[in-house]
Amino acid sequence: MASATLTLHNIFGRLSATQLGAPVLIVMILAMMVLPLPPFLLDVLFTFNIALSVLILLVAIQVKKTLEFSVFPTVLLVTTLLRLSLNVASTRVVMLHGHSGGDAAGKVIEAFGQFLVGGNYAVGIIIFLILVIINFMVITKGAGRVAEVSARFTLDAMPGKQMAIDADLNAGLIGEDEARQRRQDIARESEFFGSMDGASKFVRGDAIAGIIITLVNIVGGLIIGVAQHDLSVGDAAKVYTLLAIGDGLVAQIPSLVISIAAGMVVTRVSDERDVSLQFATQVFRNPQVVFITAGILGSMGMIPGMPNVVFLLLAGTLGYLGWKMQERERQSAAVPGEPAKPASVPDAQEASWADVAPLDMLALEVGYRLIPLVDKFQDGELLRRIRGIRKKFAQEVGFLVSPVHIRDNLELKPNAYRILLKGVEMGRGETFPGQYLAINPGRVAGTLPGSETIDPAFGLPAIWIEARLKDQAQAYGYTVVDASTVVATHLNHLMQTHAAGLLGRQEVQQLIDHLGTEMPKLMEGLVPQVLPLGTLQKVLQNLLEEGIHIRDMRTIVEVLSDYAARTQNADELTTQVRMALGRAIVQELYPGGGAMQVMTLDPQLERLLLQSVNGGGAAALEPGLADTLLKETAAATTRQEGMGMPAVLLVPGAIRLLLSRFLRRSIPQLRVIAHGEVPESRLIKVTSVIGGRS
CA distance 184 to 165: 11
- What is the Cα–Cα distance from 249 to 83, expressed in whole angstroms? 11
Percent of the chain with pLDDT over 70: 81
Asked whether the predicted pLDDT for residue 6 surpasses 50, the reply is no
**pLDDT average, residue stretch 252-281:** 69
DSSP, res 590: S
What is d(CA 208, CA 205) in angstroms, rounded to the nearest whole number?
5
Say what the pLDDT of residue 271 is: 56
Q: What single letter denotes the amino acid at residue 224?
A: I
Q: d(Cα 76, Cα 166) in Å, to the nearest integer?
A: 35
Helix (H) or strand (E) holding 664: helix 653-664
Confidence class for position 339, pLDDT limits 50, 70, 90: very low
Do 57 and 97 reside in the same domain of the chain? yes
Q: 266 with 303, same domain? A: no
Q: Tell me, yes or no, whether 177 lies in a domain.
A: no
12 vs 323 pLDDT, higher one: 323
User: SS3 of 308, please?
Assistant: helix
Q: Is the pLDDT of residue 398 over 80?
A: yes
624 and 668 in one domain?
yes
Of the given ranges (95-99, 182-186, 319-323, 404-408), which has the lowest mean pLDDT? 95-99
Cβ atoms of residues 395 and 447 within 8 Å: no
Provide the CA 241 distance to its chain's centre, in angstroms: 57
The reply to whether 669 falls in a domain is: yes
Look at residue 154 in the predicted model and tell me its pLDDT.
67
Mean pLDDT, range 220-249, rounded to an integer: 75
- Work out the pLDDT band at 410, boundaries 50, 70, 90: confident
223 band by pLDDT with thresholds 50, 70 and 90: confident
The total of other beta-carbon atoms located within 10 Å of residue 304's CB is: 5
Q: Burial level of 579, CB count in 10 A (0-12/13-18/19+)?
A: middle
Same domain, 125 and 243: yes
According to DSSP, the residues that pair with 439 across neighbouring strands are: 462, 479
pLDDT, position 230: 73
pLDDT at 142 over 50: yes
| pLDDT at res. 540 | 94
Q: Is the peptide bond before 528 cis (omega within 30 degrees of 0)?
A: yes
C-alpha–C-alpha distance, residues 326 and 623, integer Å: 81
Q: What does the radius of gyration of the chain's CA atoms come to, in whole angstroms?
A: 41
- Residue with the bigger pLDDT between 363 and 216: it is 363
Closest CA relative to residue 254, chosen from 66, 138, 81: 81
**Could you tell me if 538 and 558 lie in one domain?**
yes
Binned at pLDDT 50, 70 and 90, residue 337 comes out as very low
Look at 55-69, 191-205, 263-277, 352-366 and tell me which has the smallest mean pLDDT: 263-277
Query: In this structure, which amino acid lies at residue 654?
Result: A
Q: Please give the pLDDT value at position 347.
A: 52
Q: Write the CATH number for 650.
A: 3.40.50.12790
Is 210 within the bounds of a domain? yes
Domain end: 500, 527, 550, which one? Answer: 500
Q: What are phi and psi of 223, to 5 degrees?
A: -65, -45
Q: Are residues 461 and 542 in the same domain?
A: no
469 touches 488 (CB < 8 A): no
Residues 617, 518 within the same domain: no
- Which helix (H) or strand (E) segment is 299 a member of? helix 287-301
Report pLDDT digits (tens) over 588-598.
889 887 889 99
Residues 366, 486 within the same domain? yes
DSSP states of 510-567: HHHHHHHHH-HHHHTTIIIIIS-HHHHHHHHHHHHHTT-----HHHHHHHHHHHTTT-
* pLDDT exceeds cutoff 70 at 563: yes
| pLDDT band for position 184 (cuts 50, 70, 90) | confident
Mean pLDDT of 1-22: 53
pLDDT at 77 over 90: no
Examine residue 507 and state whether it is found in any structural domain, yes or no. yes
Assess if residue 89 is contained within a domain. Answer: yes
User: Which of 244, 295, 266, 248 shows the shortest CA–CA distance to 193?
Assistant: 266
Who wins on pLDDT, 169 or 243?
243
**Structural domain of 494:** 362-500
Give the confidence band of 168 by pLDDT, cuts at 50, 70, 90. Answer: low
End of a domain among 546, 580, 614?
A: 580
Q: Is 211 helix (H, G, I), strand (E, B) or coil?
A: helix
Same-domain status, 440 and 547: no
Residues 538, 1: Cα–Cα separation, whole Å: 83
Q: Which candidate, 544, 557, 456, places its Cα nearest to that of 502? A: 544
Which of 558, 580, 602 terminates a domain? The answer is 580
Would the pLDDT of 482 be above 80?
A: yes
pLDDT at 169: 64
* Residue 11 belongs to some domain of the structure: no
Which pLDDT does position 618 carry in this prediction? 46
For residues 156-176, average pLDDT: 65
Q: Specify the pairing of strand 461-465 against strand 436-439.
A: antiparallel
Residues 563 and 485 in one domain: no
Highest mean pLDDT among 108-117, 523-532, 644-653: 644-653
Residue bearing the bigger pLDDT, 87 or 369: 369
pLDDT tier, 619 (very low <50, low <70, confident <90, very high otherwise): very low
Question: Is 361 within 8 Å of 502 (Cβ atoms)?
Answer: yes
- 577 pLDDT more than 90: yes
Across 11-22, average pLDDT = 57
List CB contacts of 26: < 8 A, sequence separation 6 or more: 78, 81
Phi, psi of 531, rounded to the nearest 5 degrees? -130, 125
Confidence of residue 368 (pLDDT cuts 50, 70, 90): confident
Residue 168 and residue 179 in contact, taking contact as beta carbons nearer than 8 Å? yes
Domain presence at residue 19: no
- Mean per-residue pLDDT for 636-647? 89
Alpha-carbon span 536 to 538, nearest angstrom? 5
The reported pLDDT for the residue numbered 499 is 92
Whether residues 124 and 63 share a domain: the answer is yes
pLDDT at 694: 40
Residue 53 reports pLDDT greater than 50: yes
Q: Give residue 446's pLDDT band: very low, low, confident or very high (50, 70, 90).
A: confident
341 pLDDT band (50/70/90 cuts)?
Answer: very low
Tell me how far apart the alpha carbons of residues 287 and 319 are, in angstroms, rounded to a whole number.
9
Query: How many C-beta neighbours within 10 Å does residue 71 have?
Result: 11
Q: What is the β-pairing status of strands 479-482 and 596-601?
A: unpaired
Residue 281: its pLDDT value, please?
Answer: 63
Write down the pLDDT at residue 13.
Answer: 52
pLDDT value, residue 466 = 93
The mean pLDDT of the chain is 79
Average pLDDT over every residue of 561-574: 90
Q: What is the model's pTM?
A: 0.52
**Do 256 and 288 sit in the same domain of this protein?**
no
The pLDDT assigned to 34 comes to 73
Rounded-to-integer distance, Cα 628 and Cα 634, Å: 10
Residue 129 lies in a domain: yes
Tell me the mean pLDDT in the region 477-504: 91
Q: What is the pLDDT of residue 522?
A: 80
452 in helix, strand or coil? strand
Number of independent structural domains in the chain: 5
More confident position, 245 or 281: 245
Give residue 415's pLDDT band: very low, low, confident or very high (50, 70, 90): very high
Q: Which of 295, 286, 262, 13 is nearest to 146 (CA)?
A: 262
What per-residue confidence (pLDDT) applies to 453? 93
